[in-house]
Homo-oligomer: A and B are copies of this chain.
Amino acid sequence: MSQSSPINHAWLLASRPDGEPVKENFRLVEQPLPQIKEGEILLRTHYLSLDPYMRGRMDDSKSYAPPAELDQPMVGGTVSQVAESRHPDFKAGDWVLAASGWQSYAVSNGEGITPLGHLPHPSWALGILGMPGFTAWMGLMDIGQPQAGETLVVAAATGPVGATVGQLGKLKGCHVVGVAGGEEKCRYAIEKLGFSACIDHHRDDFAEQLAAACPDGIDIYFENVGGKVFDAVLPLLNTAARVPVCGLVSGYSSRELPPGPDRTPQLMGTILKRRLRVQGFIIFQDYGDRYPEFLEAMTPLVEQEKVLYREHVIEGLENAPQAFFDMLKGKNFGKTVVKVA
């Protein structure tokens, strides 16, 4: 902690959104830094991760994690550095993975804080080597179970989950088809990430284009967006296809269900007739104990550039809300992180 800036800047959750989140849902405050007590550490935030799941935390509804609390710093994963320590396991200067939330400093008793050692890119612990990369790995490998020659479709194809899923699928010998918003992202998915095809979901003929890119149907659909992409995918799913479900970002801000008819029986009928496996998962709840296994497998792939990773870095904590809104709308290009310190 620098003695010249003894102030914590924090974005509090000011109100819960009704539909799409807006600036008024957040409030920026300045707070004096507390003195840490014996057994505590003061963490300075270097990078804040912005992820789609945060939209769900803003609601007051039952989910896999408790909602973010009103008038408290908005929740979020961070890469932080120990500024001051009265904890035996940490010393000033240590890099750690934390959950400090949307603020420049946080006090911790060390619980849930993971030492990072000396990473060449500390922020990658929020992406390819952290939650999104782990999500991609386990969802694809454990639920998707890719076999060479199978067709794998993934949306948000240049995002940290989608890009990783697709590249891992390529390494497994799959025919990988991405879905992304805009020609630039699609070009990147094909030219840089090596996808066989990538379809722009803004196109009017999106469903036809997707079908044309999957002449043998779809064996794995890695679901992270829902909505019209899922609608286009469903008729193309092959017998015994697998659908790992890690997110449904297109519907996170929906206020009500779409108009009828109710297609639930159609979905259940497809699950039965095509013997689909549709399985939701929340990465650390379902697979927390397999994180070391993931890290051991993924780290060399990243180091050898067999799996590429792209970040979308926003400078300054003050820009976090707008960056969050943009990410929810797909305006980011790569993993969104806010450079705080």
Could you list which residues of chain A lie within 8 angstroms of chain B, going by C-beta atoms? 56, 62-64, 223, 226-227, 230, 239-240, 245-248, 251, 254, 256-269, 271-282, 285-286
Contact = CB atoms under 8 A, between A and B. Distances in A.
Contacts of A56: 273
A205 to B, nearest CB: 22
B276 A279 contact: yes
21 contacts: A64-B239, A227-B265, A230-B268, A240-B286, A245-B272, A246-B272, A248-B265, A251-B265, A251-B269, A257-B265, A258-B262, A258-B265, A260-B260, A260-B262, A262-B263, A263-B263, A264-B267, A271-B279, A275-B281, A275-B286, A279-B279
Given A245-B271, A275-B286, 16 more contacts: A64-B274, A223-B268, A226-B265, A245-B268, A248-B269, A251-B268, A257-B263, A257-B266, A258-B261, A258-B262, A259-B262, A272-B282, A275-B282, A276-B279, A277-B277, A277-B280
A260 to B, nearest CB: 2
6 pairs of A and B residues whose beta carbons are closest in the complex: A260-B260, A257-B261, A272-B280, A271-B280, A277-B279, A258-B262
B248 A256 contact: no
Given A247-B272, A273-B280, A286-B275, A262 B262 contact: yes
A248 B270 CA distance: 11
A19 to B, nearest CB: 14
Contacts of A248: 265, 268-269, 272
Contact of A64 (B230, B256, B275, B281): B275
A112 to B, nearest CB: 20
Contacts of A63: 273
A226 B263 CA distance: 13
B274 A278 contact: no
Contacts of A258: 260-262, 264-265
Nearest to A257: B261
